[in-house]
Structure 1
């Protein structure tokens, strides 16, 4: 099966440490009220979206973000502090989607660390330096790659157990129509979709991932040709949308939005 998905990567809403430009990795900090307000355009954008799978970092700021952006008549658009990050049934809360663990550098800003030689070496080449008591670059990249491979296996299982072919065809048609409307870059890819059901079956589905800035950068670097980690910038509360196709070993993609 030739699988194609539209991957909606959402960075969590703004936190206090984001405002203060402090390193925020595994510290379990919630989002600001202002950060929740900034998420409302995404809530509106997703109001008619049907995601076949939803994945979320298990950290509080991502759980809160997901609670805001998934429209649901049973909950407020702006969750109050008494309901800080409820777990939504059907969502996969995955610790592999956590930000890099900055260890002893958590909570510091650049000015605090700039005289630290190891920190400056890490800035130049994070693959060669690990934050004290933190996570190595190899471990970080490895768990992101494990998530991407697991994503394929999860969707493969979903498609194999699909009992109603008409439902799958409808989902594919809706995803294809949206992609055509949202990106001119889709033109060439659309030609490849011709002949559905004539020897090659192609599935195109929407997947939502709520996670952290570093994770989004690494997913982009792992799936987009000639894209380095630092080239991708997604602010808190914003979305990066990718179209990914499984080539038999890995996801290969194109950028549909900034």
Structure 2
């Protein structure tokens, strides 16, 4: 089949804890007033499908951008579960030996009550599989996926440019990337053929 498929991976808007660089994975924080205002200045083409992680901040982002579209909620694309470290910052944790060990070995060590990076990455790709099947089976040409920094980095690492590793993808609140495939390359599960940053908002707060 001829044609192209486009998927925009967008990080939710700014929250209060984002503003102070706290870990928020499964903490269900809402957008801050600043985050809401930033999103109102964004221009994104209307997609055929909107997907969110089901978290309040992601749902609010989708609703501000496309209030007329009822999003599909896929919990597998939630952020990493930081367990007991949710809401804390690097400054709060830097003297904790368990935290320092996690930083060095996050693929196999989980935060207390959280999940490892290996578990997280597998979950994200499971979520992408759900999205991919939905789009392929229904011949959906465009989608907006509103998720979080970690999941978007994981998807970009697997679907985007080979030359960038996980942490080399900048993903600020309210920004993201548009990935494009031919329909056939998308169906086959190949990497995207082009990738571009979603235009930043007029008043961007890193």
TM range (shorter): 0.7 to 0.9
For 1:171, the equivalent position in structure 2 comes to: none
What do the CA deviations read for 1:169-207 (whole angstroms, capped 9, x no partner)?
xxxxxxxxxxxxxxxxxxxxxxxxxxxxxxxxxxx8221
Cα distance in 2 between the residues matched to 1:66 and 1:116: 37
Gaps of 5+ in 1: 73-87, 160-203
Match of 1:54 among 22, 40, 50: 50
For 2:23, the equivalent position in structure 1 comes to: 23
Cα distance in 2 between the residues matched to 1:246 and 1:142: 20
Cα distance in 1 between the residues matched to 2:168 and 2:3: 26
For the pair 1:212 / 2:192, whether they are aligned, the reply is: no
For 1:13, the equivalent position in structure 2 comes to: 13
Cα distance in 2 between the residues matched to 1:41 and 1:6: 22
Residues 6 and 125 of structure 1: CA distance in aligned 2, closer, same or farther (over 3 Å)? farther
For 1:252, the equivalent position in structure 2 comes to: 191
Residues 120 and 3 of structure 1: CA distance in aligned 2, closer, same or farther (over 3 Å)? farther
Residues 2 and 137 of structure 1: CA distance in aligned 2, closer, same or farther (over 3 Å)? farther
TM-score (normalised: structure 1)? 0.69
RMSD value, Cα: 2.0
What do the CA deviations read for 1:70-106 (whole angstroms, capped 9, x no partner)?
155xxxxxxxxxxxxxxx53x2111111111000111
For 1:243, the equivalent position in structure 2 comes to: 180
Matches within 5 A, 1:130-141: 130-141=110-121
Moved over 3 A (4+): 1-4
Residues 126 and 251 of structure 1: CA distance in aligned 2, closer, same or farther (over 3 Å)? farther
3-state SS of 1:41 partner: coil
Residues 55 and 108 of structure 1: CA distance in aligned 2, closer, same or farther (over 3 Å)? same
